[in-house]
Amino acid sequence: MIETAALAGFFAAHGVWSVSEGETLIPLIGYEQPDGERGMDRYMLDDVGESARAAQEALDANEHGATRAVLVADAYLTMDWGRTDALIVRAVEHGLTPGSMELAVPYAPPTDTTPFTVYRLQIIEVTGFADQDYDTLAEAFFAGVDSHEQAAEIWNTQLDQS
């Protein structure tokens, strides 16, 4: 679970870096092979919804035979204050003890009058892990965020502290 959460944090940070200038994220899958090597594929079709579906199919099929993989796609999320942009993060641990987690990183894209803002991580669902300690999961996730140097700087300076 720890390694999967860290991988999710790394690729979520990459997604934050990608949307920080106001662009829509091209859905991506980041993965880690059994030997620890990492890779990333982007899914760019004519329609962003179709791109996200293609990425979900690839995540489900485990096309690279990965130990763990993460899908990051741009979407909307309904929060207490209303609908907001969010990166949806689906992370999967493959192998003898499979598990998955779905997280969301709400954000506000930059406008002419407001800066790019990242909001608090939302844990949507965690399944298949014996220990579902959300504090440990979040700690591993943010260690993954911090391991992506360029993106971590954007994430940490644009984080809404309220």
CA distance 94 to 154: 31
Side chain identity, residue 68? R
- 114: DSSP letter: S
Question: What is the CB neighbour count within 10 angstroms for residue 119?
Answer: 20
Note every long-range contact of 44-48, with CB atoms under 8 Å and residues 24 or more positions apart, other chains counting.
48/24, 48/74
pLDDT for 119: 92
Strands 117-118 and 68-79: unpaired
Residue 128, pLDDT score: 77
CB 144 within 8 A of CB 8: yes
pLDDT in tens, the chain (162 residues): 889 999 999 999 999 999 998 888 999 999 999 999 999 999 999 888 899 999 999 999 998 999 999 999 999 988 887 888 999 999 999 877 778 999 999 999 998 998 999 999 998 988 876 656 788 888 999 999 999 988 988 888 887 766
Q: What is the pLDDT of residue 136?
A: 84
Asked if 87 and 108 count as a contact pair (C-beta separation under 8 A), the reply is no
